[in-house]
Amino acid sequence: SEAQVARRAATDRGETYFHPNLIPTHKRLPIAFTHGQGVWLYDEKGRKYIDLLAGIAVDSLGHAHPRLAGAIADQAHKLIHVSNNFHIAIQERLAEQLARLSRMDKVFFANSGAEANEAAIKLARLHGHRKGIDRPRIVVMEKAFHGRTLATLWAGGNTKIQAGFGPPVDGFVRVPLGDVAAIERALAEDPGIVAVLLEVVQGEGGVNLLAPRVMKEIEALCAANGLLLMLDEVQTGIGRTGRFLAFQHADVAPDVVTLAKGLGGGVPIGACLVAAKAVDLFGVGAHGSTFGGNPLACAAATAVLDVIEEDDLCGNARVVGQYMAERLRERLAGPGVAEVRGLGLLIGIELEQPCPDLMRHALDAGVVLSVTADKVVRLVPPLTITRDEADYAMDRLVPVIKSAARTS
């Protein structure tokens, strides 16, 4: 088509191209990937790249994993979709597996991270109303990211992406990340607070970690005040940080946990897990979704979880993640690089200055990655990445980052 010719030409010139029939919400880099294999991605010209983005932590098993592809194909041949008005055996199996791995009790299936968080926000409001609170409010963190639907947009703390979409959704009280004293002050001022919602490691906000001790303190505050402890593990869950869920590093017991991204290994599925104070808030008819937990998505997710368990991919994320962070700390020590931090295979390299072109330069060097919060290079490779592959990636990545650090 005419558009295809125009895109090819723009791509060859290294320019951004906007297709006439796509709303231009994304500034697309001038590369089109045609297929992938493990940690490798291949573009239209046959060039290979090592994938440290994995669709932003989605492709947990890497690309074209035979178990995942097989499970999706088998399910597609049997039954792709059926209404949630019927029993769905594969959905029940996935719910059991998630409950066991997360030590949560029950699950509501959605289709994305934002949607899972919408369910969490609705749960918090129900919890508040049950306590006789008319206008329930949720404590959220600065720099948080919970999605781009209206409620999750205002649960998040990124004013750039909120701009133009007012009026804000009501019911959120923002505090600095992990500032327990600020949460205590908010509680003293506002008897309407019913929940705390946070990411154990902020992904979009720049790979910002919360110390296990702080998690424990927030858990204790929630327990003492009857608040739901709600953890957004959309980016940190499913083995990413070296445990099945990131909160397991801190050994806390949340009431609500949200998942998406890596859960389906690339097939859209979200989940809102509940336990303790949140376990019986949703009854029949309280919430719903047409596609949520459909057989195809559940077949994909069970295959992902089976492989994660059988191949101990949490262990791999822990070991290779730690190796990468240590090597990067050594190799990037010096001016321009402020810090290398992370947990498992969620690694952030904070530069001293913004680096808008770094993603492009990395692509030129055959590495797919992302830059978040202006100056944090984020690495979220597939959980299957080996030490050799990590070395290959770092050999290409380190010079790109050093050069960005020098020129900025």
Residues flagged as binding site: 113-114, 145, 148, 232-235, 289-290
* CA-wise closest residue to 275 among 236, 219, 206, 327: 219
Identify the active-site residue in 109, 261, 282, 375: 261
Region of residue 369 (left: phi > 0; alpha: psi -120 to 50; beta: else): beta
Clarify whether 145 is annotated catalytic.
yes
- Active site annotation includes 232: yes
Report, in Å, the least distance between residue 15 CB and ligand PMP: 26
Q: How many residues bind ligand PMP (CB under 6 A)?
A: 15
Please list every residue from 338 through 397 that binds ligand PMP, using CB under 6 A: none
Looking at 234, 263, 271, 308, which residue binds ligand PMP (CB under 6 A)?
234
Q: Considering the complex, state which of residue 234 and residue 314 has its C-beta at the smaller distance from ligand PMP.
A: 234
- The answer to whether 255 and 278 are in contact (CB under 8 A) is yes
From 140-148, 223-231, 246-254, 314-322, span contacting ligand PMP (CB under 6 A): 140-148
Residue 145 lies near ligand PMP (rule: CB under 6 A)? yes
Q: Least distance from C-beta 145 to ligand PMP, angstroms?
A: 5
Annotated binding site for N(2)-acetyl-L-ornithine: 148, 289
Task: Classify residue 26 by burial, with Cβ atoms within 10 Å: 0-12, 13-18, 19+.
Answer: exposed
Q: How far is the CB of 268 from ligand PMP (least distance, A)?
A: 8
- Contact window for ligand PMP (CB under 6 A) among 13-21, 109-117, 159-167, 284-292: 109-117
The interface mask with ligand PMP, positions 197-226, x = CB under 6 A, is --x---xx----------------------
Of 118, 232, 255, 389, the residue at the interface with ligand PMP (CB under 6 A) is: 232
Q: Does 254 contact ligand PMP by CB under 6 A?
A: no
Longest dimension (CA), the chain: 64
Cα atoms in the 13 Å half-sphere on the side-chain side of 214: 15
38, 113, 295, 321: residue in contact with ligand PMP (rule CB under 6 A): 113
Question: What is the nearest approach in angstroms of ligand PMP to the Cβ of residue 394?
Answer: 24
The active-site residue out of 108, 109, 145, 247 is 145
Q: Which stretch binds ligand PMP (CB under 6 A): 139-147, 249-257, 294-302, 308-316?
A: 139-147
Residues placed in the known binding site for pyridoxal 5'-phosphate = 113-114, 145, 232-235, 290
| Residue 58 C-beta: closest distance to ligand PMP, Å | 9
Residue with smaller CB distance to ligand PMP, 235 or 294: 235
How far is CA 6 from each of CA 14, 15, 321, rounded to the nearest angstrom? 12, 11, 41
Residue ranges in 40-99 that form contacts with ligand PMP under rule CB under 6 A: 56
Q: Token digits for 333?
A: 């020590």
Stretch that binds ligand PMP, among 110-118, 129-137, 164-172, 323-331 (CB under 6 A): 110-118
| Residue in 11, 75, 97, 112 binding ligand PMP, rule: CB under 6 A | 112
Closest CA to 49 of 70, 24, 29: 29
Report CA-CA distances (Å) from 136 to 117, 185, 190: 16, 17, 10
Exactly one of 232, 247, 282, 375 is catalytic; which is it?
232
Smallest distance from ligand PMP to CB 258, Å: 7
Active site residue 18: no
Residue 147 touching ligand PMP (CB under 6 A): yes
Would you tell me how many other CB atoms lie within 10 Å of the CB of residue 369?
25
Q: Which one of 7-15, 95-103, 113-121, 305-313 is the stretch in contact with ligand PMP (CB under 6 A)?
A: 113-121
Task: By CB under 6 A, name the binding residues for ligand PMP.
Answer: 56, 112-114, 117, 145-147, 199, 203-204, 232, 234-235, 260
Q: Any idea which residues carry the catalytic annotation? A: 145, 232, 261
